[in-house]
Amino acid sequence: MTMIDTDPAAVGDAPTAALYRLTDVTRTYRQKQRVIKALTGVGLEIGAGEFVTIQGPTGGGKSTLLQLLGALDRPSSGSVVLAGTDLAKASDAELGRVRAREIGFVFQGFNLIPTLTAAENVDMALEPLGLPKAERATRVAEALAHVGLADRTDHKPTELSGGQQQRVAIARAIVKRPRVLLADEPTGNLDESMRDEILAVLEGLCAEGLTLIVVTHDSAVARRAHRRLRLDKGTVRDITR
């Protein structure tokens, strides 16, 4: 069963319709007497159903860019448009709606609640949507089955391997059926075999139409994307070969 409500896109064929469009984006921070330029004039388009990786040195702006794409922050100048909505100009309430419905997040540290089961952890992502209890239960079961954990729904994080915990985190991200999944070092805590398992899950979701944006230091992960971006000193370069 397809979890993603978008047009399918094969991982080997990068789509062209723009889901994100960033125009002359800057982000500066004031730190005591210093002004930190995290992003400087970034222009970028990311297609619906595309798999994009972002690499670069620590402090190069990767986390800042991911926060802007995830409607967690606003640019100092420029526009960040997601599916026609300019996140730079949207109200706080609209940004909250976008985060709740349009964007899924996956992190290196899993961020699962240890006292809850896999199903309960996934269900938490549906709380802001106000869905009936029966529909929530159906979505949770489908999401866990989608990542290969139909037989682990009642297991708590301590009863799961690292790879299985990350699968639960992915299920939590996709259960609300978002347009885009933002992943920050999603395989950073995993060994090589588990890394490849998680990548296979993510690539399968992308093949169904989910837009996938991954920050990674791992070149083996980056090489599997449609497009590789490098972010250094606040500037983005396309390094796809």
pLDDT tens for 80-135 read 999 999 999 999 999 999 999 999 999 988 999 999 999 999 999 999 999 999 99
Which runs of consecutive H residues, i.e. helices, occur in 4-132?
62-69, 92-101, 118-123
Per DSSP, the three-state class of 35 is strand
The tokens for 59 are 């402090």
Compute the distance between CA of residue 96 and CA of residue 98 in angstroms, rounded to an integer: 5
The number of helix segments (H) and strand segments (E) in the chain equals 7, 10
**Do 172 and 204 form a contact (C-beta atoms < 8 A)?**
no
The tokens for 140 are 């949770």
Break the chain into its structural domains and give their ranges: 49-63+93-238
Q: Each residue of 82-120: b (16+ CB within 10 Å) or e?
A: beebebbebeeeebebbbbebbbbbbbebebeeeebbbe
Residues in the chain: 241
Q: What is the pLDDT of residue 9?
A: 36
Q: What is the pLDDT of residue 127?
A: 94
Maximum CA extent, the chain: 55
The tokens for 142 are 């489908």
Whether the predicted pLDDT of 33 surpasses 90: no
**Do 27 and 38 form a contact (C-beta atoms < 8 A)?**
yes
How far apart, in Å, are the Cα atoms of 132 and each of 66, 104, 123, 137, 172? Answer: 32, 21, 12, 9, 17
Q: What is the pLDDT of residue 10?
A: 35
CA nearest to 175, candidates 49, 51, 1, 4: 4
The tokens for 109 are 């540290």
pLDDT tens for 35-76 read 889 999 999 999 999 999 999 998 889 999 999 999 999 999
Q: What is the pLDDT of residue 12?
A: 40
The tokens for 235 are 């500037």
Instruction: Tell me the CATH number for domain 49-63+93-238.
Output: 3.40.50.300
